[in-house]
Chain A
Amino acid sequence: MLELKEGQRHPITMTLDGQEVRGLTEPRMLLSDFLRQELGRPEVHVGCEHGVCGVCTVLIDGKPARSCLTFAVQAAGRRVDTIRSLADKDGKLNDLQSAFRRHHALQCGYCTPGILLSAEAFLRENARPSEQEVREMLSGHICRCTGYVGMVDAILETAQQRASAGTP
């Protein structure tokens, strides 16, 4: 049985946005804090820190997860994807990000990384969602600036374009 003592820092590794990374974590450290403080990835945003707002959402093995409700040790050995995984190496936005920009689906942008990651995972499972399904998926996120109309439009448009291009 793996036992990590309280108060002690333990080495862990994970595949973060396609790269093997390592760091030290106490058992109590949240994955959100590990990514931000230990690995210097402030693009993982934190909001409520009790699983309500969805801003800290990352993908663990391709599935959306609130990184504030996941301990860093639980992500050891797994694939973790953040917002950095979406744009290409030169920083060119992917189709979903571009659609968000076109549809003014963000204002301050603080909630956007979590929403984009949720939407990416969601579209992989459900290539042709209905508006209702998109809205239900978005109910797991809180945006206090723009409302959700632009996001719904951007996600539906991306789904349609991917389907017609044959690249779900």
Chain B
Amino acid sequence: MKPKSFTYLRPASIDEAVQALARWREDARILAGGQSLVAMMNLRLIEAQALIDVSDLAPLAYIRESNGEIEVGASTTQAQFMMWPTLAECAPLLSAALPHVGHYQTRSRGTVCGSIAHSDPSSELPLCLATLGGSVVVTSSRGTRVLPCGDFQIGMLTTARLPDELITAVRFPTRRPGAGYAFAEMAQRHGDFAICAVAAMVSGETTRLGVGGVAEKPTVREWAGLDESGIDDALNDLAWDLGGTDDSHATAAYRRGLVRRLGRQVIEEAKKCSS
């Protein structure tokens, strides 16, 4: 239950962090909040020869809103994002989902980008990013890329980040005028990994539903003109298409049931909030 030895690096700038990554590549891990990484290191599920600590890197400690997007820098904690004064107004889905991210005691250190980087299939923030259609900014000594969320998370705990790339920020689209949003999840204990999490956006005739915790990555489906007569069939099709499996927490059938039930709940709630 103790991590293997590693060299600890604390860069003083983004440039230094990128240089360290160019040098250590896949032997290095980025340490931000450490709420998943250190747990996995303690369990020896992850071994790293070097940790590059960006948790205190001032240029990455920001939340900015511009051009219809909220950009969150890599050292911003989930607690700081939750306390951002205009969160509920600019990003109602994130405002609803963040209280479910870990616990009060882990959000104080866990970062927004760290959760995106970790890409756990049951995590709330990757689910919100997928549902809203956001993007991830990665930087290396070769330059900067902005990856749409669909290109970024490619599987369970797997992303398109290259070994020498640092995730510097994540961008969430802000609330669309007139759109309604809702979030719900089922977990064994508040803050635990979701057995199934759902996020909905209803905007005019368009209904989008993101589902986490069932498939190997968050899955989003969009319907046009979904109404009361079609919603149950649409959710049932989605539930089967996700291909959930039995595990120690829940059966595949239970997960399909949650997709149908929670899916309906958030779509109805999002519809009510839309105009």
Interface residues on B, range: 35 or more
B8 and A118 contact, CB distance less than 8 A: no
- Residues in B with CB closer than 8 Å to A66 are 35, 105-106, 109
Which A residue sits closest to B102, measured CB to CB?
A140
- Residues in A with CB closer than 8 Å to B49 are 6
- Stretch touching chain B among A69-77, A80-88, A99-107: A69-77
- Residues in A with CB closer than 8 Å to B8 are 2-4, 6, 27, 71, 73
- Residues in B with CB closer than 8 Å to A139 are 103, 189-191
A65 and B10 contact, CB distance less than 8 A: no
Q: Give the distance to chain A from B63, nearest Cβ to Cβ, in Å.
A: 17
Which B residue sits closest to A50, measured CB to CB?
B39
Contact of B9 among A2, A60, A63, A141 (CB under 8 A): A2
Indicate whether A165 reaches chain B with its CB closer than 8 angstroms: no
Q: Give the distance to chain A from B18, nearest Cβ to Cβ, in Å.
A: 11
Indicate whether A28 reaches chain B with its CB closer than 8 angstroms: yes
- Residues in B with CB closer than 8 Å to A26 are 5
Which B residue sits closest to A2, measured CB to CB?
B10
B7 and A4 contact, CB distance less than 8 A: yes
Contact of A63 among B16, B20, B108, B190 (CB under 8 A): B108
- Residues in B with CB closer than 8 Å to A52 are 39
B104 and A68 contact, CB distance less than 8 A: no
B12 and A1 contact, CB distance less than 8 A: yes
Convert B1-36 into 0s and 1s, putting 1 for each residue whose CB lies closer than 8 angstroms to a CB of A: 111111111111000100110000000000100110
Indicate whether B55 reaches chain A with its CB closer than 8 angstroms: yes
* A26, A28, A57, A141 — most chain B CB neighbours (10 Å): A28
Given contacts A28-B4, A63-B109, contact A1 B39 (CB under 8 A): no
Question: How far, in angstroms, from A28 to B191 measured CA to CA in the complex?
Answer: 27
Which A residue sits closest to B40, measured CB to CB?
A50
B5 and A74 contact, CB distance less than 8 A: no
- Residues in B with CB closer than 8 Å to A118 are 104-105
A49 and B1 contact, CB distance less than 8 A: yes
Q: Give the distance to chain A from B19, nearest Cβ to Cβ, in Å.
A: 8
Given contacts A1-B16, A136-B190, A140-B103, contact A69 B34 (CB under 8 A): yes
Given contacts A50-B43, A69-B38, A70-B109, contact A64 B5 (CB under 8 A): no
A71 and B38 contact, CB distance less than 8 A: yes
A-B CB pair tally, cutoff 8 Å:
114
- Residues in A with CB closer than 8 Å to B104 are 64, 118, 122, 136-137, 140
- Residues in A with CB closer than 8 Å to B103 are 54, 137, 139-140
Indicate whether B244 reaches chain A with its CB closer than 8 angstroms: no
Q: Which of B98-114 contact A (CB under 8 A)?
A: 99, 102-106, 108-109
Main secondary structure on chain A at its contact with chain B? mixed
- Residues in A with CB closer than 8 Å to B10 are 1-3
Indicate whether A91 reaches chain B with its CB closer than 8 angstroms: no
- Residues in B with CB closer than 8 Å to A51 are 35, 38-39, 106
Indicate whether A5 reaches chain B with its CB closer than 8 angstroms: yes
Indicate whether B235 reaches chain A with its CB closer than 8 angstroms: no
Indicate whether B42 reaches chain A with its CB closer than 8 angstroms: yes
- Residues in A with CB closer than 8 Å to B106 are 51, 66, 69, 140
Indicate whether B53 reaches chain A with its CB closer than 8 angstroms: yes
Indicate whether B79 reaches chain A with its CB closer than 8 angstroms: yes
Indicate whether A7 reaches chain B with its CB closer than 8 angstroms: yes
Binding site for B on A (CB under 8 A): 1-7, 26-28, 30, 33, 49-52, 54, 57, 60, 63-66, 68-71, 73-74, 118, 121-122, 135-137, 139-141
Q: List 11 A-B contacts (CB under 8 A).
A: A6-B8, A27-B7, A30-B3, A54-B103, A63-B109, A64-B104, A65-B109, A69-B42, A69-B109, A74-B31, A135-B190
A30-B2, A66-B35, A140-B102 provided; 9 other pairs, C-beta below 8 A? A7-B5, A30-B42, A50-B39, A63-B79, A63-B108, A66-B106, A71-B34, A136-B104, A137-B103
